[in-house]
Structure 1
């Protein structure tokens, strides 16, 4: 039996998380792939680099997530990278964002002289899934404005502090939130299919 693209992506993500030191969590099977895939429908459904906490929470809340779960899921930024175009507004202009660590900002400015470059979301332990992301936020090392907003906002800062101090709590909450995320938008039999090719809808296959 074919495996839906959604399962392949979800299981690959979970396996990567565990390979680089993060928690194991269950990926529930049975999802179907949708009949539609359009870039413009992504807008307003996932956070962007410059979203405020209010902006981000409006997206998470409509999918049934709490403020704490949003912060836990944001901890996935302990691995990965972002292109300069996503954060260069914090670097260039009259002066760099004063809430960025000044030495960090200088390094990013040098890197982003070439705007096609990218920087690790966690500059300290970029290849390890740990709670360093949250520690970085407290040191002015949050790369994206939306990252730093979690520490700056009074509603989310207690969770940043919790996860910075307690990696076990972060791992447990992240795993539970990822399992819950896997249940968002599950499609019924009439709304989805198991694609025979990951990059094509079945009705387009011959």
Structure 2
């Protein structure tokens, strides 16, 4: 059975690799101009994850928060200036999104090998894939050829990113607005099989909600009291927080979703059957997650003469 599942996964990813990437993106975009790009990104991400396994989740989240705001254009990487307010200090990102210095380090290496050639947007897309794969998750073909935005939108970040207190209908609508299906949404939510959340984000759930395991809530309360400790961290998947697997869905079935929005995926609604399926079949989750990441990575890319290739990911040229 295990060998059959592995064969199916290999077939899936082989087909995915051979498929035509949407829009003007192509997996071979830098084949001549920067042939060692993917090796450089892989090596740098391996070092970053070895230093701090949590960084894998952080880079994946950074990519998600970039793509959901005006497309995958590296707008989230822009620093504020005296005349410009970007996305870093939007409510969903402030004191939350991290890993910018990892992207900076990768960009430095890429610039040394291929001057003014590879966008920060493409580097972030590749880094997200390596983050998942290095923690035991699937790989997928990343279409390349994105260019970097010259601006960013704090207001769009505030309004477009799904909040941790959202209900199922809101989640489906917000992902649907990006052309992603409910199935895509449930698969992409599996990114929470790695990473951490702050006490201030999940306190209300562990103290006030009823669709939660009593033992799980009690354990979380030890590090997240009714008052204080807002910055204390807890794993989104307590069983295997640094392993990209289907443990997140198992936790939802056991009423151990840390965030309100996560448990909404398994709370008597339309996604219950899919969550249960993923909890029983890690291969199915991995395949759907990879396919959904390809779709998300194709959200409104800047290509051709639009945007620019930033030399420094934190500021426009």
TM-score higher than 0.5 here? yes
1:35-94 CA-partner distances (Å, limit 9, x unpaired):
2123221123221100111111111112111111110111111001111111111134xx
Contact 2:223 2:232 in 1 (8 A): yes
Match of 1:49 in 2: 164
Q: What does the per-residue CA deviation read over 1:110-155, in whole Å, with 9 as the maximum and x for residues that have no partner?
A: 1113221111110011010000100100101100000000001421
- Equivalents in 1 of 2:214, 2:136: separation in Å? 30
Partner of 1:103: 215
Q: How does 1:41-120 map to 2 (within 5 A)?
A: 41-92=156-207, 96-113=208-225, 114-120=229-235
SS in 2 for 1:142: coil
Matched with 2:129 is 14
Shift of 1:176: 0.6
Instruction: Tell me the equivalent position of 1:122.
Output: 237
TM-score for both structures, normalised by structure 1: 0.92
Task: Note the residue ranges of structure 2 that are not aligned, 5 or more in a row.
Answer: 1-115
The Cα RMSD (Å) is: 1.3
Looking at structure 2, the residues matched to 126 and 21 of structure 1 have their Cα atoms a distance apart, in angstroms, of: 12
Matching residue of 2:60:
none
Q: Distance in 2 between matches of 1:44 and 1:100?
A: 28
Q: Report the CA distance between 1:107 and its aligned residue.
A: 1.6
8 Å Cα contact 1:44/1:59 also seen in 2:
no
Residues 1:153 and 1:188: Cα distance change in structure 2 (over 3 Å): farther
Q: Which residue of 2 aligns with 1:163?
A: 278
SS of 2:158 mapped into structure 1: coil
Match of 1:3 among 111, 118, 121: 118
How far 1:190 moved relative to its partner? 5.0
CA distance in 2 between counterparts of 1:29 and 1:149 reads 34
Partner SS for 1:127? coil
Q: Provide the C-alpha distance between the structure 2 equivalents of 1:130 and 1:109, rounded to a whole number of angstroms.
A: 25
Q: Which has the higher contact order (CA 8 A, sep 6+)?
A: 1
Match of 1:199 in 2: 314
8 Å contact 1:20–1:129 — kept in the other structure? yes
Q: Which residue of 2 aligns with 1:30?
A: 145
**Contact 2:145/2:303 (8 A) holds in 1:** no
Kept in 2, the 8 Å contact 1:134–1:160? The answer is yes
Unaligned ranges ≥5, structure 1:
none
Contact 1:22 1:130 in 2 (8 A): yes
C-alpha distance in 2, partners of 1:44/1:9?
22
Deviation at 1:3, TM superposition (A): 2.1
Alignment size in residue pairs: 199
